[in-house]
Structure 1
């Protein structure tokens, strides 16, 4: 899965509400989530939990960044390491140097389906007016 980025220009989006909507979306899909704020944006991480994943040491998570301004919002989604502590330095790595923070994982039908459903939901929410 490569990092996907979408920009929403001229939509007057409340970025804090958008971040909360994204976190709630993944929670409703039965993901464990965490959210960290930084002056340059927000990082939301979402991962599936389970015994098998723990045993296998799978610490991968969807990492979603929300940045920009209300009239020029930017959302990025990719796979990154689940961070135990979302400190300022960790969030900066995702917001300022995303090419180093995300890692490449093989595409799978499951991840494509999750991502496709996510984008449709977010675009619908933005078009309905997260303000």
Structure 2
């Protein structure tokens, strides 16, 4: 599996394989498991998805750090990738973490689709 390198590539690949709605469902499932009140509509536009997810991650980092760590654990974002990020700018950090979350969720959806 060749992972997308940016948000646009991830969404393009999800749409090409008709897996965008499954990606949204996986996000909703993991956010529910993490007890974070965020439920995306399956018809949400990719730009809105990115914006809302970015705002949520930013808020979690700023105000609810334990819940943020729990979310990363439940989604299974690799710890070494988080450690590689520069934490000096919280807005930029939350944007990068948002992509890592989407990337990990995409991996889950893609593998389930490939090996069902």
What is the TM-score with the length of structure 1 in the denominator? 0.36
Between structure 1 and structure 2, the one with the greater Rg is 1
Q: TM-score, normalised by structure 2?
A: 0.39
